[in-house]
A and B are shown apart, each in its own frame.
Chain A
């Protein structure tokens, strides 16, 4: 018993015990735990570990999980972003519904899109006018892609049905029919339009 007691040198509520416990917890929870997960996780899922990068001809062209800014007519365009798709300054607009600045932005974008595609503003999908929370949302809704199909086809000199086929191919439905919303990954469908294949 004496030998055992000599191990416990601190009174349980002492400062020394607190300091020793703090350091041990930092090493265990802040050192060992992330190191273990990172080691096992990157062995099991190496592609995901470094950001799900897409590599074409030895060049990193982006990440499946990070949207990009598209402006050229031959590409599908993504959602409005409050941070111009810069992943280091991610964020949403944080405009309240009552903020006049939000109304102004949506009105301007709505008019631009209505003119560009020759449609009524009341038929523009919401996601094409609403800024995402992250500012790097990689997806648009299938409806937003369909709205752009004719423009993309014209700019590329291909048929609208070819573009529509591609949209169908790249539309992901809800997981097991329940979780999440139908969506199209803008970077991936644009890569397919360019005929570029990811070497992973």
Chain B
């Protein structure tokens, strides 16, 4: 229990100064850290051939983001299919099939890192570093850039007239400046520090190929043991800190080579929530709305602690299949002795709250209620959430709450002095409703054709496996009920669709909303305005989130984990 409290405390205490630093980085001018990083950044802008001071409209910003992503996905897709014939491949690994390469490339492009392959056996060092690690650094930076741009445009308190881009529309900033600063000043330095700590704990850190050992007990039937290694530490660090989640080894951070000690587990767990939480504080520092940032943080911590507590309680209950066959103890199926049930349940809950998706134990073997919590976390997806996109998602709920709240007190809907009208609310609804539509729609189709499911577990849990997979894809999470046989054309292609829509609609719609609101005339915020930085409004937002999630997903939770629990009790 102390372990959990310490991890929560350390994470939030580190997030505060990091949030302040991040806000400084994006505060215009050369920004915090400019004296060190600006020369490197200027060199990069020259290589791109772009002028970072050129303002962009929201469409221009969105196009620049999409074009960069499209080029990256094409390169990585090609790399994955061709890796067998390329260099940095000491273990002689073959190229991927077209559908697996498509799914993998899109999955990492969308900051999801859902894996239908096992890295140690199916990716060369070239694909792992130049392909996967690149996307693991660039995609959280893209999410951060989008968030900063939206926050700057939507919530900026300055009375200055908003900047306009060359064609006279509202400027939301320059995409290349934002993403470059996010990479150079935030993602790479933080990842480097964590990578070196992990390297000290035993995470492999070399370009040498697999090692061969002669096991001690030669009567046990294993004459040699081949141990896959590689440049694992830099990847694991950025996977943890960038809400990526895609590990070097198939079972992720449950593998002792990827997460060797309780200390590495502590560092990796803190890394999951560190930057997402820092961005909430950054919101306050960047806009001068510190009370709003604290209220948002309060709501997120409340959701996080409640759901995590249930997961920890559940995993400390015995696994029903072990009843009467062992000492009555916590559920250890799919868990590691060095971590135990509590640390694994904490990780399982945090990794799904943040759209990280790494695991240090197998969620498929969690008790039914313990396995339901990650699903609920992913339905909500704004308890910290993915880097950038989590807070953007929260802002959507905040707009919805402001709309409903204004109507409840009989005022014209408004936020930060700007009126909320049909255009903005339509965009909010599109961004929110596409989630249940896609998850439930695809799950229904897949469950209707049992040949497609690839279930490894029978009964109600089989339904949970399918729902978990699409939820994870849309939430850009990447964890899974991993028994699912998901390397098929059906799973690869339909998940790729969910991945892409789940990433880009929730980024682009809010960007359009922010620009649309910024273009309106601002009424001064005064005593009559809706106070969005009060505890009451925080609870209102929480109520909207809970209601929305329950209305959308309660029926499938009953069909899956709740039915499984009841069946086990009877």
Question: Which residues in A have some Cβ–Cβ distance to B below 8 Å?
Answer: 5, 7-26, 28-31, 33-34, 36-38, 40-42, 44-45, 48-53, 59-72, 75, 79, 84-100, 102-103, 106-107, 110, 121-141, 143, 174-175, 178-181, 183, 187, 190-191, 194
Contacts and interface: CB of A to CB of B under 8 A. Distances in A.
Contacts of A194: 216
A52 B227 CA distance: 11
A122 B217 contact: no
Contact of B255 (A50, A79, A84, A134): A134
A38 B322 contact: no
Contacts of A26: 72, 75, 130, 134
B50 A17 contact: yes
Given A12-B64, A48-B203, A68 B222 contact: yes
Contact of B234 (A10, A33, A110): A33
Interface in B212-232: 212-217, 219-222, 225-229, 231
Contacts of B54: 8, 12
6 contacts: A10-B50, A21-B176, A68-B216, A93-B365, A99-B458, A129-B322
Given A7-B49, A86-B222, 17 more contacts: A22-B68, A24-B44, A25-B137, A30-B134, A37-B192, A45-B199, A65-B257, A72-B220, A98-B368, A132-B335, A132-B336, A134-B249, A137-B338, A138-B256, A139-B338, A178-B3, A181-B337
B175 A12 contact: yes
Interface stretch (B356-364, B429-437, B546-554): B356-364
A5 B219 CA distance: 73
Contacts of A183: 337-338
Nearest to B73: A22
Contact of A110 (B6, B250, B326, B482): B326
Q: Which 6 A-B pairs have the closest CB atoms?
A: A180-B262, A94-B483, A133-B254, A30-B130, A41-B199, A30-B134
Contact of A50 (B47, B63, B138, B208): B208
Nearest to B180: A21
Given A63-B213, A69-B215, A180-B338, A85 B134 contact: no
B456 A94 contact: yes
Contacts of B205: 37-38, 41-42, 45, 48-49
B191 interface: yes
A8 B47 CA distance: 9
B174 interface: yes
B4 to A, nearest CB: 10
Interface string B289-328: 0000000000000000000000000000011111011111
A98 B327 contact: no
Nearest to A191: B216
Most chain A CB within 10 A, of B136, B206, B459, B460, is at B206
A30 B133 contact: yes
A16 B215 CA distance: 54
B361 to A, nearest CB: 5
Interface string B47-88: 111110010100011011001101110010000000000000
A64 B216 CA distance: 13
A75 to B, nearest CB: 5
A75 B42 CA distance: 61
A94 B362 contact: yes
B64 A13 contact: yes
Contacts of A94: 334, 362, 364-365, 456-457, 481-483
Nearest to A125: B327
Given A29-B133, A60-B214, A133-B361, A69 B338 contact: no
Contact of A85 (B136, B222, B260, B482): B222
B225 A85 contact: yes
A18 B202 contact: no
A24 B98 CA distance: 26
Interface of B: 2-3, 6, 44-51, 54, 56, 60-61, 63-64, 67-68, 70-72, 75, 118, 120-121, 129-134, 136-138, 174-176, 183, 188, 191-192, 195-196, 199-208, 210-217, 219-222, 225-229, 231, 233-235, 237-238, 249-251, 254-257, 260-263, 265-266, 318-322, 324-340, 343, 359-362, 364-365, 367-368, 371, 456-461, 464, 481-483, 564, 567-568
Given A33-B191, A88-B228, A178-B2, A137 B336 contact: yes
Contacts, number: 428
Contacts of B51: 5, 8, 12
Given A10-B49, A98-B320, A90 B118 contact: yes
B217 A71 contact: yes
Given A12-B175, A20-B47, A134-B249, A50 B229 contact: yes
B319 A130 contact: yes
B129 A30 contact: yes
Contact of A97 (B251, B255, B331): B331
B216 A133 contact: no
Nearest to B192: A37
Given A60-B212, A180-B343, A133 B338 contact: no
Given A12-B50, A51-B229, A98-B461, A92 B337 contact: no
Contacts of B365: 92-97, 102, 133
A140 B336 contact: no
A137 B337 contact: yes
Most chain B CB within 10 A, of A22, A62, A69, A107, is at A22
Given A18-B68, A53-B213, A121-B325, A132 B120 contact: no
A106 B256 contact: no
A77 to B, nearest CB: 9
Given A179-B266, A181-B337, A87 B227 contact: yes
A185 to B, nearest CB: 9
B204 A125 contact: no
Contact of B174 (A12, A23, A125): A12
A52 B568 CA distance: 42
B192 A33 contact: yes
Given A22-B71, A134-B254, A52 B260 contact: yes
Contact of A15 (B67, B329, B343, B568): B67
Contact of B225 (A22, A62, A102): A62
A87 B364 contact: no
Contact of B334 (A8, A98, A131): A131
Nearest to A18: B67
A115 to B, nearest CB: 13
Contact of B217 (A25, A64, A70, A138): A70
Contact of A93 (B120, B220, B333): B333
B329 A126 contact: yes
Contact of A20 (B49, B261, B362): B49
B256 to A, nearest CB: 4
Contacts of B213: 53, 60-63, 66
